[in-house]
Amino acid sequence: MGGQYRITGDKYPRMRPPRRRARMAGIVVVCGAVLGVAGWGTLQLVDVFTGGGGTASAAAAKACATTKSGAVASASPVVLPKPAQITVNVYNATTRSGLAKTTADELKKRGFKVGQVGNASAAFDKKVTGVGVLVGAGASVKTSLPVVGVQVPAAERRVDAERVADGAVDLVIGDGFKGLAVRGDAERALAALAAPKAVAVVKKGC
């Protein structure tokens, strides 16, 4: 300066930050506020369409899982006829003599009524290669036929549409017959057949 210029008076220049920086700072603050509001709005929309927040959704999912895996409804017990109410006709379709009588005697010991005992008709005679065939009327499918069936679990079951619905069942003994089921096993199978079954209940909307 060389002393040519001197500052006189009581006013001095003040240092101010550039206006550009202040403007940028303001823009950043405004953008942050806008993003915050937009995020909050999005979260509310998600809650509306999903049925609640994270906690509610987790609780609902847990409730559904519990309902699917744990909730059961007991079915009504199946009413089956007693062995004493069922007549069994025993026919021998094999070449082994006396098989129908011995089987009929055992069925009688187990509480069944025994009807006709003898050789099988021409439709079955020497034509049954398996354990045997159980024949009943259409009405016996869920009544007397399964009760006799536990005594000969491997026997084939057939329905005779022309048969009178008297509850009687024909047991036609085949070549593979070795005897009736073990009595204890047959009794347990019959008890399971008549017992109510638990049915899983799934809550709608899960």
Tens-digit pLDDT string for the chain (206 aa): 455 555 555 555 555 555 555 566 566 555 555 555 555 555 454 454 455 555 555 655 555 555 444 555 556 667 899 999 999 999 999 999 999 999 999 999 999 999 999 999 999 999 999 999 999 999 999 999 999 999 999 999 999 988 877 779 999 999 999 999 999 999 999 999 988 665 555 555 55
Quick one: pLDDT at residue 78? 75
Quick one: pLDDT at residue 175? 98
Distance CA 121, CA 135 (A): 13
CA dihedral 75, 76, 79, 80 (to 10 degrees): 10
What residues form DSSP beta bridges with 122? none
Quick one: pLDDT at residue 203? 54
Residue with tokens 């017990």: 77
Domains of the chain, CATH where assigned = 83-194 (3.30.70.2390)
HEC states along 37-83? Answer: HHHHHHHHHHHHHHCCCHHHHHHHHHHHHHHHHHCEEECCCCCCCCH
Distance CA 145, CA 136 (A): 6
Query: For residue 120, what is the DSSP state?
Result: P
